[in-house]
Amino acid sequence: MLKHIVMWKLKEHAEGADRAANAREMKRRLDECAHIVPGILKFEVTLAQPGLEATYDVVLYSEFENKAALEAYAKHPTHQALVPFIGAIREARQCMDYEVPAGQQ
């Protein structure tokens, strides 16, 4: 299994909207990717919550059967359609992919 975690810090204002509105729109668009290819085991998008510590605005936590499933997700047209929007509204991005050996899942 492969875990794919991405965090985005958004600009205060971009694409005619403020940070909060862009975060909600980004979550809506990412949520549409939850079942676009076989091999997605878990797909969770969340926004920073008031009253809880957060240094980033949007987080994607996902699990894939294998690297091929993650690559299929990344190349899928639904995912690719997000790239320009996210690129326009993000200030920073952090990502980490890692494999979890069988038996440790």
Which residues, other chains included, contact 1 with Cβ-Cβ below 8 Å and sequence gap of 6+?
41, 63, 64, 65, 66, 99, 100, 102, 105
Tens-digit pLDDT profile for residues 76-98: 999 999 999 999 999 999 999 99
Domains delineated in the chain = 7-99 (3.30.70.100)
51: left (phi over 0), alpha (psi -120 to 50) or beta: left
pLDDT band at 101 (very low <50, low <70, confident <90, very high): confident
Q: What is the pTM of this model?
A: 0.94
Residues 3 and 44: their CA atoms lie apart, in Å, by 12
